[in-house]
Structure 1
Amino acid sequence: MSGVVPGTLKVSNDCIADLAGYAALECYGVVGMADVDEQKGVAQLLPANRLRRGIDVAATDDGRLRVDLHVIVEQGVNMSSVVGNLTSAVKFLLKQIAELDNPEVVVHIEGLRATR
Structure 2
Amino acid sequence: MIGNISNEYGYINYSEEILGNIVGVSTMECYGVVGMASKNAKDGLWELLKKGENLSKGVKISMKENKLIVELYIIVGYGTKISVIANNIIQKIKYNVENYTGLKVSSITVNVQGVRV
- TM superposition score category, shorter chain reference: 0.7 to 0.9
Q: Is the 1:75–1:113 contact (alpha carbons within 8 Å) kept by the matching residues of 2?
A: yes
Counterpart in 2 of 1:93? 96
Counterpart in 2 of 1:29? 32
Counterpart in 1 of 2:43? 40
Q: Tell me how large the CA RMSD over aligned residues is.
A: 1.9
CA gap 1:101/1:64 in 2 versus in 1, 3 angstroms:
closer
TM-score, length-scaled by structure 1:
0.84
| Equivalences, count | 110
Q: Is the 1:36–1:42 contact (alpha carbons within 8 Å) kept by the matching residues of 2?
A: no
- Determine what percentage of the aligned residue pairs are the same residue: 28
Unaligned runs of 5+ in 1: none
Larger Rg: 1
TM-score, length-scaled by structure 2:
0.84
Post-superposition, which runs of at least 4 consecutive aligned residues in structure 1 deviate over 3 A?
Answer: 5-8, 36-39
Residue aligned with 1:16, SS: helix
Q: Deviations over 1:16-48 (max 9, x none)?
A: 000000000000011110015543111121132
In the TM superposition, what are the counterparts of 1:49-64 in structure 2 within 5 Å?
49-60=53-64, 62-64=65-67
Counterpart in 2 of 1:15? 18
Which structure dedicates a bigger proportion of its chain to strand? 2
